[in-house]
Chains A and B, each alone.
Chain A
Amino acid sequence: MGAILEVNAIKKYFGRICAVDGLSFRVNRGEVYGILGPNGSGKTTTLAIVMGLINSQDGKYSWFGGRIPPAEARKKKIGALIEVPYFYPYLNLEDNLKIIAKIKNILPGGIDRVLKSVNLHHRKNTGFKTLSLGMKQRMAIASVLLGDPEVLVLDEPANGMDPQGIAEIREIIINEREKGKTIIMASHILAEVEKVCTHVAVLKDGKLLAECPVTELPGKETKVLLASEDNNKLYQVLISSAIAKNVTPGEEFVTAILKEGITTAKVNRYLMQQGIVLSRLEEKKISLESHFLELVKSPGTSN
């Protein structure tokens, strides 16, 4: 597995505010790495550092295992959108993209392709300043796709878009993921990250709170509350069974996290076979959101 991006203990202060506090992570080839965090958690600063916009005060980062110098990697391998899109307002879309094509040393033939992919081809000859906010964001996505880079770095890619636009951007990202591209994406919208990412990192106050593959997110598991006449027996049966993991005993009810592929109906049938009649069987979805909020609210990490 090749490392695309390695970040090692980077630190950045803005005055006395610590925006990024000793952050380390690694993104491997083919991953869709979501950086999740509330506003001001250091997502954009982190991406700005690895894109060469801000010098970090401590720590280092490297692209492609350090085999390619950062500027060269940005030019030849990476397409990035950091914060809002930046273009020359008085130039039309084609000229704006021509500048990028010239910087990246690619033929301007790709301009039509990328404008079509974000539904802006009909506006090719209009000035950038005449675009709506959502269209500007699409234009930014078009510029990211120019040259078909193997790594995409996206900071809030669906910023300012209508629901249809958000869906289209998601489709574009999933499409790129299917092509085997590596995508690093920052967002404060959990649903977005959950839908497109393979890995997720949660950031708060410039620190990494958690990092895991999306499949291991708690939101993907089913938690059930069970009760019967004899909760003790119920607990014993459940921990020796193959259907549940993480069983917690309790006075009123027993809590269990179900193993993958196990439904509440299966639980009920299994317990009946074991001679236990349930008086209560309640499914509790642990939403990613509540888990996320719990993480970022937890004391000790806040100021």
Chain B
Amino acid sequence: MRTSLLGIELIKILKYKSFRVLAGLHLFFFLAVVFLASRINIEIPGFNPRNLFAFPYVWQTVAWFASWFNILLVFIIIMLTCNEFSYNTFRQHIINGLTRDQLLAGKGAVILLLGVYSFLLVLITGGLFGLFFSTDMTISRVFNDFHILLVYFLQTIAYMVIGMAIAILMKGTALSIVMFFLLRILIEPVLRSFFDPVARQYFPVRAISNLTPVPEFLSIASESQIITDGNDMLTFESMGLVSHQLPLLTSVLLAAGYTLIFIILIRNYLKRISL
């Protein structure tokens, strides 16, 4: 019989009020935003916002909306990790026979659990809205942009790993959340500003946020053939609304690489500290 790290984590989180509240807020806000957005109806000839919720665009749209609420998943991870320090329960786990790697693996299990949960949430929501809004339901069309869901999954995992790493470094919930925000909106942006627009795309937070780019509302809604006719695309990039973007695969590799590096660094740190 192996020690079930996920089983242990489940006992901790299922009865924890703050976890239930944050998870509930995540579910509620996501569904509310998707629902409200789907009701928007702008009456401009040749412009149909309903397309945003039709296959295959719905995956991109719903994944983008879901990415707004990644921050709540990160809060959950930060809170759960910092609790282990403030309750001294990481210490107690070591006393009871876990290794430091198992402490990290336990939190990794929660991150995967939340990642799978939000993946399924986007899959089900996207699927249902797609069924409702689509007129063309050929298999190839339904699954055309399906990989975006996997990319979204990677994004949630990457953000939560950064949250966990900050939480282990800072140990306090409030401080960790502040640091996470500062990293996203101040520290990395300032660092990035010293580099040229292309190099900026290689920074960790930027690479991770590039995983769910803003859906090309205009071209999708106006049904310009973005799939077949790339030259006439009304893209935000071509209009100068968003900066230069790397190919998705490059961003995926970057985000996965950074995630791995953060895990290795924080693992070494956790091995060295006193608990």
Contacts and interface: CB of A to CB of B under 8 A. Distances in A.
Interface of A: 48, 51-55, 71-72, 74-76, 78, 80, 82, 86-91, 95, 98-100, 102-105, 143
Contacts of B275: 53-54
Interface string B253-275: 00000000000000000001011
A163 B153 CA distance: 57
A75 B11 contact: no
Contacts of B83: 88
B88 interface: yes
Nearest to A14: B274
A131 B65 CA distance: 44
Given A54-B274, A75-B97, 18 more contacts: A51-B95, A52-B94, A53-B91, A53-B95, A74-B96, A75-B98, A82-B91, A86-B87, A86-B88, A86-B91, A88-B83, A88-B89, A89-B87, A91-B12, A95-B11, A103-B97, A104-B97, A105-B2
B95 A74 contact: yes
B8 A102 contact: yes
Between B3, B87, B89, B92, the greatest number of chain A beta carbons within 10 A of the residue's beta carbon is seen for B92
Contact of B96 (A48, A72, A100): A100
A71 B98 contact: yes
Nearest to B96: A103
Contacts of B7: 102
B92 A87 contact: yes
A86 B89 contact: yes
Between A72, A76, A80, the greatest number of chain B beta carbons within 10 A of the residue's beta carbon is seen for A80
A91 B93 CA distance: 16
A272 to B, nearest CB: 61
Interface of B: 1-4, 7-8, 11-12, 15-17, 83, 87-89, 91-99, 272, 274-275
A99 B8 contact: yes
Contacts of A75: 3, 96-98
Contacts, number: 75
Nearest to A85: B92
B85 to A, nearest CB: 11
Contacts of A91: 11-12, 15
Contacts of A48: 274
A86 B83 CA distance: 12
Between A74, A76, A143, the greatest number of chain B beta carbons within 10 A of the residue's beta carbon is seen for A74
A82 B87 contact: no
A161 B99 CA distance: 31
B16 A71 contact: no
Nearest to B93: A103
Contact of B87 (A53, A71, A87, A100): A87
A101 to B, nearest CB: 10
A264 to B, nearest CB: 49
A89 to B, nearest CB: 7
Contact of A103 (B3, B17, B272): B3
Contacts of A80: 95-96
Nearest to A128: B87
B87 to A, nearest CB: 6
Contacts of A51: 94-95
A99 B97 contact: no
Contacts of B89: 86-88
A52 B92 CA distance: 11
Nearest to A54: B274
B274 A53 contact: yes
Given A75-B97, A103-B98, A104-B96, A88 B87 contact: yes
B141 to A, nearest CB: 47
A103 B89 CA distance: 12
A76 B91 CA distance: 17
B135 to A, nearest CB: 50
Contacts of A53: 91, 94-95, 274-275
12 contacts: A51-B94, A51-B95, A54-B275, A55-B272, A72-B97, A74-B94, A75-B98, A80-B95, A87-B89, A87-B92, A99-B12, A102-B11
